[in-house]
Structure 1
Amino acid sequence: MMKRKPFAQLFFFAIFALAANVGNAANAAGADRYVPVCVDMKGYQAEAECFSHQLDLKEAQFKKYYLAAQKQDIKIYGGNAEELAESQQMWEQYLRKHCDYLYSREQGTARIRDSAECRLRLYDERIDEIWISYLRYFGSAEPVLRDPRK
């Protein structure tokens, strides 16, 4: 049986610790990205209108990235984007289940805020994932669309 040398153990521990810190930093950066909207609104109606407008903007941004991803999938991989469409249907089902649950568990106007903020966060995450998976290239090539996090 071969003995491991202390240096090798320290080296692998250091690499593991570094990788864990990089992952935590990326998660923290993603969490910081979401900035609450529609704060300090004057009344329930103004807040509801603000969230409706913000969701319309976010859905338009999502559609732009999603349609570009479909085109790239067909263009580069010769596919018909069925896998993307299927994963999108599953994601939409998750969005509805999760955010609708937040709506149903609250009372009063808090339910609108919680549900809308949930949808905005999940749309941001989905847009990021689509950009990473379909619209950017490794190396120096320009992405199809700009990084949505910037």
Structure 2
Amino acid sequence: MKRTTVLAAALLGLVMTLGAAPAMAAVDDDREVDPLVAAVLDEVPGGVVIDGRHAVWPKLDMELTVPAASGLSSWSVGSCTTGRICAYSNTSLGGASLTFGTCAVHTIPSSFAVKSVANARGSGSVQVRNGSTVLKTVAAGSWSNVSGTVTNLRCLL
């Protein structure tokens, strides 16, 4: 009888210890839970953390997904990958593209006619220029159609 009681108490203690972990502790990866995920979990009961950026509420058929860089303003813009500057041969980010991963003055080959530009960086702007004349300024996380002959793109921090 004593052995059964001790075993039952140990099993109960184990269940209480493992079952008492908050939902945020269920994250399988090394990342912390995004603050937005944590806030929504606190506000809406019944949520289950999938990873640091995802949670689901099965009874509500609700899912929350936070972009990987939720604390930053860095996003891809159309087909322009996050962190890059892209020049397109057609308007509205269409056609062929030239992409640049550094913040500098980038010369556009004369055989490439730029019709639109995307700035998928997290900050700063890109000047679309003909020589030193600014034709258009594109803010971080946005894009614009361009008219005129583009000879270079100047990245500003």
- TM-score, structure 2 normalization: 0.23
Provide the TM-score with structure 1 as the length reference: 0.24
Structure (1/2) with the larger helix percentage: 1
Higher strand share: 2
The structure whose RCO (Cα within 8 Å, separation 6+) is larger is 1
**Larger radius of gyration between Structure 1 and Structure 2:** 2
